[in-house]
Structure 1
Amino acid sequence: MIILPAIDLKDGEVVRLKQGDFDKKTVYSKNPLKIAEKFAKEGAEWLHLVDLDGACAGESKNFNVIKKISERTELKIQTGGGIRKKEDVKRLLDLGVSRAIIGTLAVKNPELLSEMLKDFGADRILVSIDVRDGRVTTSGWKEESSLAMLDFALEMEELGVKYILYTDIGRDGMLSGPDFEGLKKLKAETNLQIIASGGISSEEDLYRLADLEFYGAITGQAIYQGKIDLEKVFSEMEDK
C-alpha cells in the first residue's frame, strides 16, 4: 500500500480543514516546499497535493507552488483542485505531476472525463469521490449532489476510471478513524484501485488499511499533530 502525506494549499500556505469547513482552518506552515522536502526525507515517494483555492474558484490558484515542489523534489505528485478542462490536466502533467485529481468535473461532465481518460490514460487520472452522508459532493465540498457513493463509483468504473480517492467528509480532519465500512463496500463491489482518505488518526489505521489490501491511504492531520511517525511507518511497512 502506498502512503501519501497530504499538503492542502490555501493562499500559498499549508493548511488543514475540519470537515472541509474553510472557517475551521489551521495553518501549519507558510513554506509548502519545506514540508514536501521533509516528507521525502522521511521516506515518502508520493505526495497528495490539493489546491483548496482552486477547488472553490474552479481554476488553479497555487500553480507556482505545485511547480516548485515538482521541480525541487523527486516525489510523485497527485494533485487536484480547480481542474475543469483538458488543458488544466495537460498543464499539470507537463510539469511532471504523476496524476491529476478530478472531482467536480467527474460529476458534472462525465463525457469530458471520458475524453481525458482516452487522451492521457487511466494511470494519469484519479477520480475523487467526496461523500457526506452517503452523497457525493462537489465544488470544494460545498455542493451536494443526488448521487449515491457506490452508484457513482460503479459509473466511474464503467467509464474506464482505474483509480479513485474516497473521502468521508464528516471524518476529514477529525482524527476519528477512516470509514472502513464504506471503504470495504467499495472494495467488494468494484475492481477500482482505492485510496482511503478522511479521519486517519493513527499508525494502526494505516496498518489495518494495508492488511485489507487497499491501494493507498492519505494522511494529513495526524502527521501534523504528531500522531503518525512517517519514518517509522515506512520502515515497518517495508518489513511486512
Structure 2
Amino acid sequence: MVFEVIPAVDMRGGKCVQLVQGVPGSEIVSLDDPLAISLDWVGRGAKTLHLVDLDGAIEGERKNALIIEKIVRSCREKGVSIQVGGGIRSFEDAVSLLELGVSRVILGTAALQNPELVKRISSAFGNECVTVALDSKNGKISIKGWTEECMQTPVEMGRKFEDLGAGSLLFTNIDTEGLMQGVNPVPTKELVESVSIPVIASGGVSSLQDLQVLRETGAAGVVIGSALYTGRFTLEDAIETTRCK
C-alpha cells in the first residue's frame, strides 16, 4: 500500500501559515502567495495537497475561497488531487468545491453537528469525495477550530461516519499538533484498527522517523505542515523515506 505524504497549505488572512495547536496569533510560519507555495510542493513531488481555510474553520467564513479556487484550477491541470477543509458548513459549500474540481471535501464541525450531511454528499458524489476530520484532544473530539470539546471519542465517531458514507478520515492529534515534539502513534493505530476506510494522520510530525512510525500504524498517509515549512526535512526526503521497498 502506498503511504501518501501530503503537504499542508493552511491559509489565514490570505497568507500561508502554520499555527501552534490551532491558536490564532501563534503563527510560526507566515508566508505570502499560497498559490506559489502550492505549486512548489507539486513541483517537489506532491500528488495531493491539503488546503485549509483557517478563517473558515475558526470564524465560519471562508475568507480564502478565491485563493483556494486559484490553487485548485492551477493544480488540477497537473493531475494533483486536492482536499479542502475549513468552513464547509453546508451541502451547497461542498457542491461548489467538488464542481470546481476538488477531489475531497473535509468536513469537521459540520459533520459533527449535522451527520446526515456526510450521507447526503456521499450519495450525490460518491464516498471517495467525503473525508471527515476527527480532531482529538485528551482522547475526545474537538470542534469549532478546536475551541469546543465533545464527549465522543475518535473511534466512536469514526465508526459512525464510516456507516454514514465517509470515504476516509483525517485524524489530527491536537495534543501533539504544531509542537514539533514528535508523534504519538497509539490513538492513530486505535482508529485505523476500528474502521475499514483509509485514515490519514496529522499532528506532531517533526522527523523522518515520525513518518515511519505513523506508516506502521496502518494509516494511508500523513499531512505535514510545520516540519516542512521549518526545514526539519524536505518533501523529497519524506516521500523517499516512506516509499514501499
TM bin, normalised by shorter chain, reads over 0.9
Is residue 105 from structure 1 mapped to residue 110 from structure 2 by the alignment?
yes
- Among all aligned residue pairs of Structure 1 and Structure 2, give the percentage whose two residues are the same amino acid: 38
For each residue in 1:1-49, what CA deviation from the matched residue of structure 2 results, as whole angstroms up to 9, or x when unmatched?
Answer: 1110001100010111111111312343111011111111111111011
Question: Unpaired runs of 5+ in structure 2?
Answer: none
Change (3 A) 1:149 1:239: closer
2:35 to 33, 36, 47: 33
Question: Unpaired runs of 5+ in structure 1?
Answer: none
SS in 1 for 2:18: strand
Between the aligned partners of 1:194 and 1:218, the Cα distance in structure 2 is 11
User: In the alignment, which residue of structure 1 is the partner of 2:126?
Assistant: 121
2:47 to 45, 52, 66: 45
Is residue 9 from structure 1 mapped to residue 11 from structure 2 by the alignment?
yes
1:88 to 65, 90, 93: 93
- Tell me if structure 1 keeps the 8 A contact 2:212–2:241: no
Relative to total residues, which structure has the larger strand share, 1 or 2?
1
Aligned length: 240
Is residue 207 from structure 1 mapped to residue 212 from structure 2 by the alignment?
yes
Between the aligned partners of 1:211 and 1:148, the Cα distance in structure 2 is 22
Is residue 198 from structure 1 mapped to residue 203 from structure 2 by the alignment?
yes
Q: CA deviation at 1:236?
A: 4.3
Amino acid at match of 1:166: F
Q: CA deviation at 1:239?
A: 6.1
Q: CA deviation at 1:156?
A: 1.2
- Tell me if structure 2 keeps the 8 A contact 1:59–1:84: no
Report the RMSD for the aligned CA atoms in angstroms. Answer: 1.4
Is residue 229 from structure 1 mapped to residue 231 from structure 2 by the alignment?
no
Between the aligned partners of 2:239 and 2:233, the Cα distance in structure 1 is 11
Between the aligned partners of 1:31 and 1:229, the Cα distance in structure 2 is 20
Between the aligned partners of 1:130 and 1:211, the Cα distance in structure 2 is 20
User: In the alignment, which residue of structure 1 is the partner of 2:182?
Assistant: 177
Instruction: Return the TM-score normalized by structure 2.
Output: 0.93
